[in-house]
């Protein structure tokens, strides 16, 4: 049930399900469902429960996946809820880091860009903290990591460093995790126009550094194409890793009932 646009998350989950021998039904955009006729998302979810072994949902409102999980009896996967969380992206990000470095503990990681509306970095920061990574939050003041996330990290005694200048930390990084400035999340388009392009990662910036560049994609102008054919580029491999990771997720959450 995709109420927002998606390329990697939707297609990698579909690929994962088919590689496991299953199949997928659903829609992209409410125009393809009875939502446009006035059906509630609760009723739509109950229909999906009747037709499937698991529900994957992306929705612009935070908390919808949790709401649905409370009213259906099949597993529900949060494929992104507004500016909230994107937990399966975090799992493939961790998998990518582990494959590249054979560890996560003590890795030096900068999360840069839209930390306010970027659901990927919200989920990722919690996970990195649990695994003992060293985190740097780099963003314009208007797009800082939300206070509730920072409060949670402090409560768990997870340390982090905030800055608006990547140059403060780039020489010590293992991973530069870049995010786009999300135009669709801004309530004020003038604020977006003023902030867009705040950071741009190019080959010259990373050349000679001992780091990798990751990005949940899609990118707009925050990573120059001259990085694509360098050893620093791990964002396409990161996207590829979505398939095996999401195969593992589906394999673990779906308990097939032969009587269904």
132 sits in the region (left: phi over 0; alpha: psi -120 to 50; else beta) called: left
> φ and ψ at 9, to 5 degrees?
-65, -50
**Does residue 178 lie within any of the structural domains?**
yes
Residue 3 lies in a domain: no
SS3 2: strand
Q: 178 is written with which tokens?
A: 């870049």
Catalytic residue among 37, 157, 167, 231: 37
**Do 25 and 134 belong together in one domain?**
no
Can you give the pLDDT at residue 105?
94
Instruction: Select which of 10, 58, 59, 134 is catalytic.
Output: 58
- What is d(CA 100, CA 96) in angstroms, rounded to the nearest whole number? 6
Residue 135 confidence (pLDDT) above 60:
yes
Question: 73-112, pLDDT tens digit by residue?
Answer: 999 999 999 888 999 999 999 999 999 999 999 999 999 9
Q: Return the percentage of the chain with pLDDT > 70, whole number.
A: 92
Q: Is the pLDDT of residue 177 over 90?
A: yes
Q: Are residues 103 and 61 in the same domain?
A: no
Which structural domain range is residue 31 located in? 8-82
Q: 82, 115, 141: which is the final residue of a domain?
A: 82
Is-contact 214 177, C-beta < 8 A? Answer: yes
Same domain, 93 and 76: no
91 and 201 inside one domain = yes
Prediction pTM value: 0.90
119 is catalytic: no
Say yes or no: 122 and 210 in one domain: yes
Does 208 share its domain with 128?
A: yes
Clarify whether 167 is annotated catalytic: no
The number of distinct structural domains making up the chain is 2
Q: What CATH number should be reported for the domain holding residue 73?
A: 3.40.50.1370
Mean of per-residue pLDDT scores for the chain:
91
- Note if the bond before 84 is cis, omega within 30 degrees: no
User: Catalytic: 9?
Assistant: yes
Residue 258: pLDDT over 50: no
Tell me: the pLDDT tens digits for 203-252? 999 999 999 999 999 998 899 999 999 999 999 999 999 999 999 999 99
pLDDT of amino acid 186:
65
Mean pLDDT, rounded, for 47-58: 95
Q: Would residue 251 count as lying in a domain?
A: no
Q: Where are the beta strands (DSSP E) in the chain?
A: 55-59, 76-81, 108-112, 134-138, 160-163, 175-178, 212-214
Are 66 and 50 found together in one domain? yes
Q: Are residues 102 and 53 in the same domain?
A: no
The answer to whether residue 250 is domain-embedded is no
**Residue 8 designated active-site:** yes
Is residue 86 flagged as an active site residue?
A: yes
- Residue 1 placed within a domain: no
Which of the listed residues 60, 82, 104 is the one where a domain comes to its end? Answer: 82
Evaluate whether residue 246 is within a structural domain: no
Residues 141 and 224 in one domain: yes
Q: What is the pLDDT of residue 15?
A: 97
Q: Are residues 203 and 165 in the same domain?
A: yes
Question: What pLDDT score does 227 carry?
Answer: 97
* Res 44: pLDDT: 94
Tell me whether residue 258 is in a domain: no
Same domain, 93 and 214: yes
Out of 10, 44, 59, 86, the active site residue is 86
- CB within 8 A of 184, min separation 6: which ones? none
The answer to whether residues 164 and 201 belong to one domain is yes
Kindly state whether residue 46 falls inside one of the protein's structural domains: yes
Active-site annotation holder among 9, 44, 88, 96: 9
Q: Give the pLDDT of residue 191.
A: 66
Tokens representing 97? 């880091």
> Do residues 152 and 127 touch, judged by C-beta distance below 8 A?
no
Mean pLDDT of 18-40: 88
Can you tell me which residue has the tokens 């590829």? 240
Q: Which of 8, 144, 185, 209 is catalytic?
A: 8
Q: What is the pLDDT of residue 260?
A: 47
């Amino acid at each position: 049930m995709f109420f927002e646009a998606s390329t990697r998350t939707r297609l990698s989950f579909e690929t994962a399900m088919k590689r496991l021998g299953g199949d997928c039904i659903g829609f992209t955009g409410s125009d393809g469902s009875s939502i446009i006729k006035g059906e509630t998302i609760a009723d739509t979810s109950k229909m999906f429960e009747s037709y499937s072994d698991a529900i994957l949902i992306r929705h612009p409102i935070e908390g919808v996946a949790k709401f649905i999980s409370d009213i259906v009896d099949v597993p529900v996967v949060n494929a992104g809820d507004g500016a909230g969380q994107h937990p399966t992206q975090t799992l493939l990000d961790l998998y990518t880091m582990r494959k590249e470095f054979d560890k996560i503990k003590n890795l030096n990681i900068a999360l840069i860009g839209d930390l306010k509306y970027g659901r990927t970095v919200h989920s990722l920061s919690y996970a990195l903290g649990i695994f003992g990574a060293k985190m740097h939050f780099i963003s314009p003041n208007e797009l800082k990591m939300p206070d509730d996330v920072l409060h949670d990290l402090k409560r768990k005694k997870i340390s982090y460093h905030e800055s608006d200048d990547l140059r403060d930390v780039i020489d010590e990084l293992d991973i530069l995790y870049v995010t786009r400035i999300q135009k669709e999340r801004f309530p004020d388009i003038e604020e977006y126009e003023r902030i867009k392009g705040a950071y741009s990662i190019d080959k010259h910036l990373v050349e000679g550094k001992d780091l990798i560049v990751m990005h949940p994609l899609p990118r707009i102008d925050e990573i120059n194409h001259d990085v694509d054919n360098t050893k620093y580029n791990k964002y396409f491999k990161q996207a590829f890793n979505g398939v095996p990771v999401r195969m593992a997720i589906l394999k673990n959450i779906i308990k097939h009932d032969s009587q269904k």
